[in-house]
Amino acid sequence: MDLISYWLVRLVMLRDVGLVVGIVLQRASTLGWHWESWSEFTNLDGVHRQKVEPLFLSKLNTVFQLVLVAAPLLQPEFGTLETEVYIKNLSLLVASTTAASTVAYGAQ
Protein backbone atom coordinates (compact mmCIF):
# COMPACT_ATOMS: atom_id res chain seq x y z
CA MET A 1 0.00 0.00 0.00
CA ASP A 2 3.08 2.27 -0.08
CA LEU A 3 2.50 3.42 3.49
CA ILE A 4 6.20 3.52 4.33
CA SER A 5 8.41 5.67 2.12
CA TYR A 6 11.23 4.09 0.16
CA TRP A 7 13.63 6.79 1.30
CA LEU A 8 12.99 5.82 4.92
CA VAL A 9 13.57 2.13 4.26
CA ARG A 10 16.83 3.01 2.49
CA LEU A 11 17.89 5.27 5.36
CA VAL A 12 17.31 2.53 7.95
CA MET A 13 19.07 -0.07 5.82
CA LEU A 14 22.01 2.27 5.14
CA ARG A 15 22.39 2.90 8.87
CA ASP A 16 22.40 -0.83 9.63
CA VAL A 17 24.93 -1.57 6.88
CA GLY A 18 27.06 1.29 8.18
CA LEU A 19 26.93 -0.14 11.70
CA VAL A 20 28.02 -3.58 10.49
CA VAL A 21 30.86 -2.10 8.41
CA GLY A 22 31.92 0.03 11.38
CA ILE A 23 31.98 -2.95 13.72
CA VAL A 24 34.00 -5.02 11.24
CA LEU A 25 36.52 -2.20 10.79
CA GLN A 26 36.76 -1.65 14.54
CA ARG A 27 37.32 -5.36 15.15
CA ALA A 28 39.99 -5.55 12.45
CA SER A 29 41.72 -2.51 13.92
CA THR A 30 41.60 -4.00 17.42
CA LEU A 31 43.32 -7.12 16.11
CA GLY A 32 45.97 -5.02 14.40
CA TRP A 33 44.60 -5.93 10.97
CA HIS A 34 46.00 -9.43 11.41
CA TRP A 35 44.18 -12.56 12.51
CA GLU A 36 44.83 -16.25 12.04
CA SER A 37 41.31 -17.47 11.39
CA TRP A 38 37.71 -16.39 10.96
CA SER A 39 37.10 -17.86 14.40
CA GLU A 40 39.61 -15.46 15.90
CA PHE A 41 38.09 -12.52 14.05
CA THR A 42 34.55 -13.32 15.16
CA ASN A 43 35.76 -14.10 18.70
CA LEU A 44 34.23 -17.57 18.80
CA ASP A 45 36.95 -18.75 21.16
CA GLY A 46 36.64 -15.79 23.56
CA VAL A 47 40.12 -14.34 22.93
CA HIS A 48 40.31 -10.54 22.54
CA ARG A 49 36.74 -10.21 23.72
CA GLN A 50 34.84 -7.04 22.82
CA LYS A 51 31.34 -6.14 23.87
CA VAL A 52 29.20 -3.68 21.98
CA GLU A 53 26.47 -2.08 24.04
CA PRO A 54 23.47 -0.70 22.16
CA LEU A 55 22.73 2.93 22.84
CA PHE A 56 19.45 3.93 24.47
CA LEU A 57 18.73 6.10 21.43
CA SER A 58 19.15 3.07 19.19
CA LYS A 59 16.72 1.06 21.32
CA LEU A 60 14.23 3.91 21.13
CA ASN A 61 14.70 4.03 17.37
CA THR A 62 13.89 0.31 17.15
CA VAL A 63 10.68 0.84 19.12
CA PHE A 64 9.62 3.65 16.78
CA GLN A 65 10.44 1.50 13.75
CA LEU A 66 8.31 -1.34 15.09
CA VAL A 67 5.41 1.02 15.80
CA LEU A 68 5.67 2.43 12.28
CA VAL A 69 5.57 -1.04 10.73
CA ALA A 70 2.95 -2.44 13.11
CA ALA A 71 0.48 0.45 13.00
CA PRO A 72 -0.67 -0.07 9.40
CA LEU A 73 -0.78 -3.84 9.91
CA LEU A 74 -2.86 -3.64 13.07
CA GLN A 75 -5.18 -0.88 11.91
CA PRO A 76 -6.74 -1.58 8.53
CA GLU A 77 -8.01 1.98 8.34
CA PHE A 78 -4.40 3.20 8.21
CA GLY A 79 -3.63 4.43 4.75
CA THR A 80 -6.69 6.61 4.53
CA LEU A 81 -6.39 10.36 4.11
CA GLU A 82 -7.27 10.85 7.79
CA THR A 83 -4.44 8.65 9.04
CA GLU A 84 -1.82 9.72 6.51
CA VAL A 85 -0.58 12.46 8.84
CA TYR A 86 0.16 9.88 11.56
CA ILE A 87 2.24 7.79 9.19
CA LYS A 88 4.11 10.87 8.00
CA ASN A 89 4.83 11.96 11.58
CA LEU A 90 5.94 8.46 12.58
CA SER A 91 8.15 8.34 9.50
CA LEU A 92 9.78 11.64 10.43
CA LEU A 93 10.28 10.42 13.99
CA VAL A 94 11.94 7.22 12.74
CA ALA A 95 14.10 9.19 10.30
CA SER A 96 15.18 11.55 13.09
CA THR A 97 16.08 8.84 15.57
CA THR A 98 17.79 6.81 12.85
CA ALA A 99 19.97 9.76 11.87
CA ALA A 100 20.66 10.68 15.49
CA SER A 101 21.64 7.13 16.46
CA THR A 102 23.90 6.90 13.40
CA VAL A 103 25.72 10.04 14.52
CA ALA A 104 25.88 8.80 18.11
CA TYR A 105 27.39 5.45 17.08
CA GLY A 106 29.84 7.25 14.81
CA ALA A 107 30.92 9.50 17.68
CA GLN A 108 31.34 6.48 19.92
Return the domain boundaries, the chain. Answer: 6-107
* Distance (Å, whole) CA 41 – CA 65: 31
Single pTM value for the model:
0.77
Residue 93 CA to residue 102 CA, distance in Å, equals: 14
According to the 3-state scheme, what is the secondary structure of the chain?
Answer: CCCCCHHHHHHHHHHHHHHHHHHHHHHHHHCCCCCCCHHHHHCCCCCCCCCCCCCHHHHHHHHHHHHHHHHHHHCCCCCCCCCHHHHHHHHHHHHHHHHHHHHHHHHC
71-88: pLDDT as tens digits: 777 777 766 777 778 888
pLDDT tens digits, one per residue of 9-47: 899 999 999 988 988 888 888 888 888 777 777 776 666
Greatest CA separation found in the chain? 59
